[in-house]
Amino acid sequence: MLWWAKDGKGYTTSLDMAEIYTKDDALSQHRCRETDIPWPKSYIDRRTSPAVDMQYVDIKEALKHTDIKLITPKKHKRDTYRCDGCGVFMNRFQYYGAPCGRCDCDNRH
């Protein structure tokens, strides 16, 4: 949702930066432009929670001047799929979705 910013500085998504209008001022604004909806502050406050948008955070930047060292994740071993009839290796889609192309065994699990 967008709100009018304080001091007429455009729009904002931050409630901390949003202008708080009196009921009369909000209704007056709504009469001038019906798309400006006068939401009651108490209603919005009950439905607000802090959030972090991950597109604006960077772990390298955040840890630059700390002594925190992250553990490098171990590579996950890929699952292997073999035909129940002849033992040929298959990809996951072949294994679960179609008969074996080599022995025609129905591997669909």
What does the pLDDT look like over 57-95, one tens digit per residue?
999 999 999 999 999 988 888 888 999 889 999 888 888
At residue 104, the pLDDT reads 81
Q: Are 19 and 5 in contact (CB under 8 A)?
A: yes
Is 91 among the domain residues?
yes
Question: Among the three residues 63, 83, 100, which one is the final residue of a domain in this structure?
Answer: 63
Domain residue limits at 81? 73-109
**Residue 6 in this model has a pLDDT that exceeds 60:** yes
**42 and 79 co-located in one domain:** no
Q: Which residues pair with 4 in a beta bridge?
A: 11
Please indicate whether residue 23 or residue 106 has the higher confidence score (pLDDT). Answer: 23
Please indicate, yes or no, whether residues 54 and 98 belong to a single structural domain of this protein: no
Residues 20 and 51 in one domain: yes
Task: Tell whether 108 and 57 lie within a shared domain.
Answer: no
Query: Would 25 be classed as within a structural domain?
Result: yes
Q: Report the DSSP beta bridge partners of residue 22.
A: none
The answer to whether residues 54 and 94 belong to one domain is: no
Is-above-0.85 flag for pTM? no
Q: How many CB atoms sit inside 10 A of residue 105's CB?
A: 15
Determine the length of the chain. Answer: 109
Q: Structurally, how many domains does the chain consist of?
A: 2
